[in-house]
Structure 1
């Protein structure tokens, strides 16, 4: 059985594939086993990746098609547009690890790219391994920046298998954004996906090997069964890592949690420690990269790039600057971001509400005097936060509290460690409000059970609080009345709803229900939606779609959402008003809420953020001071949020009346994180690179139309038809018919109502029109067109002769352009490089064709025409090609030989440079760890001096970190030997292949005219 070669077309299991990789199947298999990686070119499964053991396939269904050869001079001439489209198809789909300045990704998405968003992809291409921490401000478009990097690495052949790990509430958003903006299909691994996969393929089916691009929620990934399935997906017997790229969204959630003196690994941290070694490249995304603990920040950086960082008390600032990108909105010049207007809505408590606040403050003070522990403070804090939220939220919490008070048993001995664990669990970030409420309720009950019994004063206070709350929780409080007034002013005009929209955020699902009941009274049908954490994905997407639909077409005007549901919501298209129904004690939550409308893509020049302040309530006025203070601290938000939250808690519980910012974590974060000052530049270099790429890749309106129009016609249907719209007709077209084998493209050519979209062929022309669609290089229509031309390279079903001519004015002699595909295969059986190589020259009557480099620029820049030439001239042209065939092949061979030498030198230099870089990094980490271990053993160094201050929990984490350093030291010593060898092998050339592509004859117009005459 003969083996296929990279770049060939093969038939396997009655489907047609291009061969991407050919390699030994693994050390534990027979040497006769060959793993072949295939990419489907059949239109119904275009782009589907499949790996097979070639020798184990049914021999009767295997077929290797013959490669393209020198065109038959007796075949009919193709139209030159068709041959040009063929060469463009190869140019636009040729991967290469050589690098270079050209960027493909800006032309591979339906996105309006801002110049600053090119910085991460440009930075990524400078790194031997793409390990980046993208820590841009909320709303700057980190998802777009990640998508650009993904498409760039895919286009260069550097990645295939991708895993996105995100909070559960963001998995569908990632899937839809990758599909809508970049036309990349991802599957979401969850319980249903696993069950369906095993139902179809058997109990041994592994979801991590089911598709090359996957998404999974970080908390589902933490389950033992899921972690085991991931481990089983990587046999670990290959020189290449099993996974190419990891994208970790909201990466700060995986950093160790800060404690009083030290940091502790969370379950998420441990998960990332287990999976990151399986990935070649990693992108970490977060708007708050630093929590104020250097140990936590360096642990996150170590997960990102263990060759550049060790977790520890210091940040290597030189290495940090290479991998971290951090820009705030105010640092990016010449960008018309919306102005954020933050205004407090002042209200006054009525007598009943004011009395309830006074009673609760008295009750909290009394309780803390008799049972003052950190955990009891938690229970009192929950009561205060819920009272500041809504009457219903407070009522339900006071009912919990009364029940727990009845369970008090003073003989119970408080297990402080258990209580700490329970209360810590209750303040974690949740994506499910029901789970949040359950854990909070359980924590309050457990903490209350070990309190001292109420004295008579406390009983009286609690009884009165409960009575007032029971009487008022179903009534409109002053805040609700003010909200209704606000809505009437902003969302009503002329006695009816206008086209403005409003988002109301609250911390509690109970408050969301309270608001929905109140606002239902002004709802005339379909105006108000709610969204809470735990809402099923289908409903969540439905709500998002309705709220993002033009108000002229959707009745929705108000969205009430909880914090648990807010993460990752992008709602900026038709909404500029946002209200915080209560002020979060953690300012980072407020910033996350604001980022839902104050973000890239907001059309309004100003967004309006409002919150409520009680003029006659000290607690409320104090929260206004917090808001004013944190406006000046946005760059440090990740570090100071928990500091502020703890300060607020002390004030609200009567333990303090001042705000203390003397925590040294602001100084730590300024030291550890350097903002990307380069973001203040105009990014002119990136724009120049962008334009150079467009020119070198020949990406323009005429060429995009050319490849689509000709692919359709080759397939036997009409090409692009004109649009009637005067403003669009030069850049747009309609496609009314596609081949039967292109049926999956149809849905991308119509809107949701089945109307034909006007297809924009002008590259990077982004129009705010729902009746248009951008035709970029990753769009299914372009992919199918490229695939159609790639099939023409093989003789089994070709509709092309790959032979054409162009009639050119001002040309003295007949000239020929001959082109070939050139592929370079690496030692590991992977494709290193593919390109089109062309030679230009004047043919002699008896041969003697020689490549003339100066002729290339002359011919490529000349205008041409194509009309039928005489039979006599056509015969002469055919004879001329045949006579020069040997010389043409020789000249292409010579140019390929020259190109091979240059590529070999380039790869050798790249291998040497990358190997030296990696070797240097590993040695730096080894020396760093040795010094830390020596300092500790010699009882010197900061860690040893701090050890007596640690709690038992912190000391246990410290001991685990010391073991980790020992493990890392041994691992790095092994990698010092293996890594440089693997890098060198990765860039070694195993084989090269060339396939003849096309012949274009340039005929002087004078000669063509004489022949016709």
Structure 2
């Protein structure tokens, strides 16, 4: 099977339950002359994050590669850019585990049109019979309800379940009692029957299961808005370069357009990154095509660490760096604005009257011209920019011009001292609350139209939002220039 799969596609991931089996398989592949040009690698729970990354890079770089792994990587590790084939060396009796393993390669971002999955099961054994029963039941439930049930975590619970449903394993199989004699029963907790009608109805009522046919374009729109607020690759690059310079680190451009980053400040060093990133990019497509290039995005450990250090630095008395004494502030000089503008980032909180009560947090940008015309500080007329104007402000290109610390401090003092600023910020928070209520009402109505008057329990109170509180996180001054 392995030779056939490698002939079709030169990358394969093999999952096994046991470290001994993992080592055995990798050793046999390495010894077999038929796999002389194949790189066999192993990964398991005993490796730290940096060691795992090194293994992944070797696997991505290999022309022909086999990655033998335990279930330590079946959750939270994504391999869709490196492989499109999975082999399960033995059957995990928890079908959810199969899905988690498959999900390492069969997920968004997979470039191959087809993902191949092979599960090795001994014919005419207990494994094969149990697998057949579970697959048939899950398929029937998916047909009836539109989703598959949650499964169970160990062999004993599966046998308990099959016994409860009076499933016959056949004369060639071990009896339940014979099989149980070899099982280490460490728990006496009852196993919930995932096939019971009351269980399935509860799942359908308490979650999105069974609602997958509903199209929610508002969710896609909000995701796009979040990405714009968090930052584009260009904005992340500007932040990272500025922050690295602030903390005494160096950045140099390589001949191919990638960046070499030397992390000399111990506060920014992490075990998974080290002191040097030889080739880095902010372009996701480039990183997908070249495994030797490190993608620097909001999830990268260096970016996360820099964000935390900048936040902490903002609260240190008088700061450790030259510049404006105000914490959590910045300025941008850009030809894309006509007047001095202050951008306030708020963290707004709302109370949702669901059962139990929940809290929603929103990152809310509010921009206000500091001087000029009807928005003058003197006459107290202040009007915030529209949502579209704020989005354009977040995307402006900065120029090479600078301002002195005293100049920035003066504008910040005026901006934070504007008459009616607190009312303006409260109005923005309230406007966002009304938008959230409208969005959630629309979502609830769509679901009620499809499901009738019987609304899922999790929807009750979802559009009942009360104002909570808000914090002012940052202030950025935009200068024309």
**1:638 matched residue in structure 2:** 151
Pick closer, same or farther for the CA change 1:892–1:638 going to 2, 3 Å.
same
Contact 1:820 1:892 in 2 (8 A): no
Contact 2:332 2:476 in 1 (8 A): no
Say yes or no: does 1:687 pair with 2:220: yes
Matches within 5 A, 1:922-937: none
**2:240 matched residue in structure 1:** 708
Match of 2:83 among 560, 574, 583: 574
Say yes or no: does 1:817 pair with 2:341: yes
Q: Deviations over 1:420-456 (max 9, x none)?
A: xxxxxxxxxxxxxxxxxxxxxxxxxxxxxxxxxxxxx
Match of 2:278 among 756, 760, 769: 756
CA distance in 2, matches of 1:670, 1:849: 63
Say yes or no: does 1:503 pair with 2:33: no
Residue 892 of structure 1, CA deviation? 1.9
Matches within 5 A, 1:161-310: none
Pick closer, same or farther for the CA change 1:903–1:570 going to 2, 3 Å.
closer
CA distance in 1, matches of 2:379, 2:195: 73
Say yes or no: does 1:840 pair with 2:370: yes
Residue 772 of structure 1, CA deviation? 2.6
Residue 797 of structure 1, CA deviation? 4.0
CA distance in 2, matches of 1:667, 1:847: 65
Matches within 5 A, 1:384-533: 486-487=1-2, 489-490=4-5, 499-501=10-12, 503=14, 522=32
Matches within 5 A, 1:306-345: none
Contact 2:59 2:66 in 1 (8 A): no
**2:323 matched residue in structure 1:** 800
Residue 744 of structure 1, CA deviation? 1.0
Pick closer, same or farther for the CA change 1:620–1:847 going to 2, 3 Å.
closer
**1:775 matched residue in structure 2:** 296
SS of the aligned residue for 1:800 comes to coil
Pick closer, same or farther for the CA change 1:806–1:490 going to 2, 3 Å.
closer
Say yes or no: does 1:537 pair with 2:42: no
Contact 1:613 1:624 in 2 (8 A): no
Contact 2:246 2:321 in 1 (8 A): no
Contact 2:345 2:365 in 1 (8 A): yes
Pick closer, same or farther for the CA change 1:554–1:777 going to 2, 3 Å.
same
Aligned residues: 387
SS of the aligned residue for 1:592 comes to helix
Matches within 5 A, 1:829-908: 838-842=368-372, 848=378, 850-853=380-383, 857=389, 860=393, 888=414, 892-900=418-426
CA distance in 1, matches of 2:96, 2:471: 55
Say yes or no: does 1:596 pair with 2:120: no
Residue 707 of structure 1, CA deviation? 1.9
Contact 1:579 1:609 in 2 (8 A): yes
> What's the C-alpha RMSD, in Å, of the aligned pairs?
6.3
Contact 1:758 1:772 in 2 (8 A): yes
SS of the aligned residue for 2:278 comes to coil
Residue 704 of structure 1, CA deviation? 1.8
SS of the aligned residue for 2:261 comes to coil
Match of 1:553 among 52, 56, 62: 62
Contact 1:529 1:543 in 2 (8 A): no
CA distance in 1, matches of 2:99, 2:474: 58
Pick closer, same or farther for the CA change 1:537–1:894 going to 2, 3 Å.
same
For structure 2, the 5+ residue unaligned runs are 143-147, 177-192, 350-360, 437-465
Matches within 5 A, 1:341-356: none
Pick closer, same or farther for the CA change 1:680–1:766 going to 2, 3 Å.
farther
For structure 1, the 5+ residue unaligned runs are 1-485, 657-662, 826-831, 911-983, 1004-1013
SS of the aligned residue for 1:710 comes to helix
CA distance in 2, matches of 1:890, 1:545: 48
Q: Deviations over 1:697-730 (max 9, x none)?
A: 2622332222222233444565x544544xxx5x
Contact 2:260 2:277 in 1 (8 A): no
Q: Give the structure-2-normalised TM-score.
A: 0.54
SS of the aligned residue for 2:211 comes to helix
CA distance in 1, matches of 2:12, 2:261: 37
CA distance in 2, matches of 1:847, 1:638: 63
Residue 689 of structure 1, CA deviation? 0.4
**2:203 matched residue in structure 1:** 673
CA distance in 2, matches of 1:820, 1:502: 48
Residue 760 of structure 1, CA deviation? 1.1
**2:269 matched residue in structure 1:** 744
Residue 691 of structure 1, CA deviation? 1.3
Q: Deviations over 1:757-797 (max 9, x none)?
A: 223167x9972532233333354443455444774686454
**1:217 matched residue in structure 2:** none
CA distance in 2, matches of 1:598, 1:998: 41
Residue 690 of structure 1, CA deviation? 1.0
Residue 855 of structure 1, CA deviation? 7.2
Pick closer, same or farther for the CA change 1:647–1:521 going to 2, 3 Å.
farther
Residue 501 of structure 1, CA deviation? 3.6
**1:647 matched residue in structure 2:** 167
Pick closer, same or farther for the CA change 1:692–1:740 going to 2, 3 Å.
closer
Greater helix content: 1
Residue 896 of structure 1, CA deviation? 1.6
CA distance in 2, matches of 1:996, 1:547: 38
CA distance in 2, matches of 1:623, 1:701: 49
Contact 1:529 1:559 in 2 (8 A): yes
**2:357 matched residue in structure 1:** none
Pick closer, same or farther for the CA change 1:757–1:840 going to 2, 3 Å.
same
